[in-house]
Chain A
Amino acid sequence: MKKKTITSLLIILAVIICLIIAQRTLDSFSLRILNLSGVYIIFAVSMNLINGFTGQLTLGHAGFIAVGAYTYSLLIMDSDLKQMNFFLKPLISPLDTLQLGFFPAMIIAGLLAALTGFLVGAPALRLRGDYLAIATLGFGEIIRIIFTNTQSITNGSLGLKGIPKPDNFFFIKMDNSLMWWIWVAAIITVVFHLLLIDSSYGRAFKAIREDEKAAQAMGVSLFKHKVMAMVISSFFAGIGGALLASLIGTIDPLMFRFTLTYNILLIVVIGGMGSTSGATISAIVVTVLMEALRFLDQGFLGLPELPGLRMVVFAILLLIVVLFYPKGIMGNEELTWSKLRRLFGKPFAAKEVNR
């Protein structure tokens, strides 16, 4: 085995050990934040694929997340629960009795989101730059508006309540099985994207970002690769949406406004457009900060209660990053061992020079 593979496996092992310790020691509130950061890792890393690596600014992520969340919820709820939810208008025929397990429901949620990504991407990715941004924003909003109006499928603006949590992890009964699902999905997402970026497809994505014309001249099919990035990105967004629905337990169309897309964009920009490790770090940092800064809303230092101050801080943070540190935490590079060594262990670096 290559040295790189071994170190990667060691990192994954370390994360898993940390998770085992976390679920024994943390209270339910901290665990919830831990889970939320896992979900946001999935969102940020997948959005980074199309926005950061392929360089196509798309703002429809919230729509794909919504597709994933609704598909999952409709597949996992049992018929009694559905009847309780749909008291205004009954759910249409095959869906009202259909019930699947957690894993198939999540995968179907991802696949349907990917299909939506294809349907949105195929026409929209012919556009470029700000036109693409605004068209995808439009598609995302249309998805939300459709969900608000199709009362007999999505329960409209009433939303879905009481979405059950999984009670097993691959047939093993566990207390915090949802945490394992979320974090295993997050690890798989990160590893998948790292491998993808290293493959020939990843190089094609980056070539498109750097110079579309040159990439095309070198034989890279622009349309194929852009749509591919979009489909993969929306697949993971759908998976993330399913996990979010399961974690929060209640969904309604208003959750998936483009403010959600902005939040994920904030994470991606702070992490550095085009860096999977940057997006991962920033997803954790931002999610934890969002909770840690809650005291700002509740009044501090003798200030009165100012709900919303927390988000002002985040908006200013976003502006500072864009204006003064446009590269974010990682720029478009990945976190590697040699970089960590350079950062922390001066002696290691000195030894290397001597050799």
Chain B
Amino acid sequence: MTLELFLQHLTNGISLGSLYALIAIGYTMVYGILRLINFAHGDLIMVAAYIAFYGVGIFALPWYLSFFIAVLLSMTLGIITEKAAYKPLRNSPRITILISAIGVSFLLQNLGIVLFGGRPKAFQVPEIFAKVYNFGGVNIVGVTFFIPVITVILLILLVYLINFTKAGMAMRAVAKDYDTSSLMGIDVNRIISLTFGVGSALAAVGGIMWSLKFPQLIPTMGLMPGLKCFIAAVVGGIGNVTGAVVGGFLLGLGEILLVAFFPDLSGYRDAFSFILLIIILLVKPTGIMGEKIAEKV
């Protein structure tokens, strides 16, 4: 393998990895606070992509406006999901709330089939993302370059939000101890909504960039990325934002490089992340950066 080819694969891996990282953050934030795998998170990717598609295709909006509206609407949908399907079950056994999440995901997918149709649609990629740039022999499509850049910008904003604002402090408090933080005067419901909002917005951005990279829309398109990003969150240590980013890059790079070095195994590309998940869970169940939680009897 020549150096150019390797760099080509590397940039692909980095851009896929940053997509995974972006979506994984949503999982990890929600899990940190509610101890819930939000199975519907992946389907927000699909919703955002379709809204962006219709914004450009039917309402003839400029792409940036359409993308912005898509992020806003998916954020609202994420918050509504929490209020409708998870909040009433907050004191139920965790298995019940998990099944509720599966139900929401099932509903969104099938609603997608009814509203958008089951046939794949081609996403219109704006000029700026489709152009091919050449960096010293390595050809990079615009979107491959923009994805990591946007991810880094969003990550900086997120780190600022979590570590240096009052709302972020409240989020950390709720994640640490739900009951005590409500006693300390934190409006827990508002913080949970905020968490869902931020997570869903990141998933929506991820979803739009996903469809820029793989411009084909189907109602079940959120399934695989959703699962893989959840795996990324677990691998990095669920509940830990840095861990989610590390896990996302590990997964993205691993997947691309596996196919690059062993083309025979390309059929097993999707299995890679699951095998990685199982190994991590068996060796270090708290993930790479996760803290060890003492079990209470």
Chain A residues within 8 Å of B, Cβ to Cβ: 55, 57, 123-124, 126-127, 129-131, 133-135, 137-139, 141-142, 145-146, 148-149, 213, 262, 265-266, 269, 273, 306-309, 311-312, 314-316, 318-319, 322-323, 326
Contact = CB atoms under 8 A, between A and B. Distances in A.
Contacts of B107: 312, 315-316, 318-319
Contacts of A307: 113-114, 118
A123 B282 contact: yes
Contacts of A262: 102, 106
- Give the secondary structure class of A's interface: helix
A308 B118 CA distance: 9
Given A138-B277, A139-B274, A322 B231 contact: no
A157 to B, nearest CB: 10
Given A137-B227, A146-B271, A55 B100 contact: no
Most buried by B among A131, A213, A307: A131
Given A130-B37, A315-B110, A326-B96, A145 B268 contact: yes
B270 A124 contact: no
A129 B285 CA distance: 12
9 contacts: A127-B281, A138-B274, A138-B275, A142-B275, A213-B297, A262-B102, A308-B110, A315-B107, A323-B89
Given A131-B234, A319-B103, A308 B113 contact: yes
Most buried by B among A134, A149, A262: A134
Interface in B224-276: 227, 230-231, 234, 267-268, 270-271, 274-275
B254 to A, nearest CB: 15
A124 B275 CA distance: 12
B115 to A, nearest CB: 9
A61 B107 CA distance: 21
B38 to A, nearest CB: 11
Contacts of A323: 85, 88-89, 100
Contact of B274 (A142, A148, A316): A142
A309 B95 CA distance: 27
Contact of A139 (B99, B110, B270, B278): B278
A271 to B, nearest CB: 13
Contacts of B270: 141, 145
A315 B274 contact: no
Nearest to B114: A308
Contacts of B89: 322-323
